[in-house]
């Protein structure tokens, strides 16, 4: 059977199994970006990724008895049995190896104003080519991007680093932003892409929840020019109860990032959950004491999303928060208003 004929059969099988999802997604992108032109070859590659086991071995894990592995990328330290996935989803134990199953697979691509990240003090009024994949190592009940972060379906297209860089230059983008879902669990791809993006003279931007272990974070940071780090609350209880995570490593990483890159912080203000004066004062004081008054703060308005149904944040709450932050911090912005 010729190779082309084999690919045709594979393509037919994929579309039978997954419907027209791939073609529609590729079609959406190809309207705007030539690198996502939906060729037969790319569809075949997508299929191959689902059919060939462990295309890309993950970094930061160790093998355990019984073909189990333990992921060392983030503070969850998931122990993963064969065939299972970690809490974040993309990292899967295939045959006793931890695999980065979303390496080179994007779920979302767009050219965004840098202010949308949000970064207001890093090359303002420019655009940045923004990529996201699938999964997240937090399980926030209010997630605003839950369709790609809390994965219920695989919806991706393959992207090549050279194509991404070419397209960024063609579009006049200042660089690449790794965003939409959590980029730190896309670690291997982000690191490889960021190294080439840096070499090409473009910037790398991370929009992140900051939940990663010190080793991988320190490995990635020298390649990163700017970060927006989401500090959802200054209370550890909040992370445990509403996000399935912990606060300590996020604060550590915020401090660490601010030593080597441009950092802005976002706090999503949610009525009754993290909107008391004492919440704002504690976060403000931590920022002031640990990263200084110059770090920009974005106080973002919450809207009901995913599992959380309480009404949106009143404007007055955000104004009150801004007043409190502005007593010590120089740059306080309201978002989603
Ligand atoms: S990165 Fe994912 S698999 Fe690894 S420890 Fe964190 S949640 Fe678990």
Q: Where are the domains of the chain?
A: 1-52, 54-101, 105-335
What pLDDT does 31 receive?
A: 33
DSSP state letter for 268 = E
Residue 215 contacts residue 72 (beta carbons within 8 Å): yes
- Could you give the CA distance from residue 32 to residue 29 in angstroms, rounded to a whole number? 6
Q: Which helix (H) or strand (E) holds 228?
A: strand 226-230
**Closest ligand 1 atom, CA of 61?**
4
Taking the CA atoms of residue 16, residue 19, residue 21 and residue 26 in that order, the dihedral angle to the nearest 10 degrees is 50
Q: Which residue, by CA, sits nearest to atom 3 of ligand 1?
A: 86
**Closest ligand 1 atom, CA of 184?**
1
What pLDDT does 152 receive?
A: 62
Segments in the chain below pLDDT 50? 1-52
Ligand 1 mean position to 186 CA, how many Å?
A: 10
Instruction: List residues near ligand 1 (CB under 6 A).
Output: 71, 73-74, 76-78, 86-88, 91, 137, 185
What pLDDT does 319 receive?
A: 98
Ligand 1 mean position to 181 CA, how many Å?
A: 14
3-state secondary structure of 337: coil
What pLDDT does 176 receive?
A: 98
Q: Which residue, by CA, sits nearest to atom 4 of ligand 1?
A: 71
Ligand 1 mean position to 20 CA, how many Å?
A: 31
User: Residue written as tokens 């972060």?
Assistant: 149
Q: Which CATH number fits domain 105-335: 2.60.40.2310, 3.40.50.12780, 3.40.50.10860, 3.20.20.70?
A: 3.20.20.70
What pLDDT does 171 receive?
A: 97
What pLDDT does 50 receive?
A: 45
- Could you give the CA distance from residue 70 to residue 97 in angstroms, rounded to a whole number? 10
What pLDDT does 147 receive?
A: 86
What pLDDT does 155 receive?
A: 75
Nearest to 193 by CA among 237, 238, 223: 223
Residue 240 contacts residue 247 (beta carbons within 8 Å): no
Ligand 1 mean position to 86 CA, how many Å?
A: 5
What pLDDT does 9 receive?
A: 39
């Amino acid at each position: 059977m010729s190779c082309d004929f084999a690919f045709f059969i594979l393509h037919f099988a994929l579309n039978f199994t997954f419907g027209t999802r791939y073609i529609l997604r590729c079609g959406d992108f190809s309207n705007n970006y030539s690198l996502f032109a939906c060729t037969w070859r790319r569809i075949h590659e997508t299929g191959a990724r689902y059919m060939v086991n462990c295309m890309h071995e993950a970094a930061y894990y160790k093998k355990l008895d019984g073909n189990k592995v333990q992921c060392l990328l983030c503070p969850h330290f998931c122990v993963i049995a064969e065939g299972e996935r970690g809490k974040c989803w993309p990292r899967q134990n295939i045959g006793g190896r931890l695999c980065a199953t979303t390496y080179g697979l994007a779920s979302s691509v767009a050219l965004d104003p840098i202010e949308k990240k949000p970064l207001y003090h890093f090359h303002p009024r420019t655009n940045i080519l923004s990529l996201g994949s699938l999964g997240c190592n937090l399980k926030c009940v209010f997630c605003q991007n839950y369709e790609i972060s809390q994965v219920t379906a695989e919806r991706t297209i393959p992207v090549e680093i050279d194509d991404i860089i070419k397209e960024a230059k063609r579009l006049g983008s200042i660089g690449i932003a790794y965003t939409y879902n959590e980029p730190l669990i896309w670690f291997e791809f982000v690191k490889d892409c960021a190294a080439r993006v840096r070499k090409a003279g473009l910037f790398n931007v991370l929009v992140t929840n900051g939940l990663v272990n010190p080793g991988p974070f320190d490995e990635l940071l020298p390649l990163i020019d700017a970060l927006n780090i989401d500090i959802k609350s200054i209370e550890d209880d909040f992370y445990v109860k509403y996000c399935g995570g912990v606060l300590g490593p996020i604060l550590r990483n915020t401090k660490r990032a601010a030593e080597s890159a441009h950092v802005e912080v976002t706090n999503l203000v949610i009525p009754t959950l993290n909107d008391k004066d004492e919440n704002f004062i504690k976060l403000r004081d931590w920022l002031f004491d640990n990263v200084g008054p110059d770090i920009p703060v974005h106080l973002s308005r919450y809207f009901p999303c995913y599992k959380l149904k309480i009404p949106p944040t009143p404007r007055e709450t955000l104004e009150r928060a801004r007043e409190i932050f502005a007593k010590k911090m120089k740059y306080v912005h309201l978002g989603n208003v």
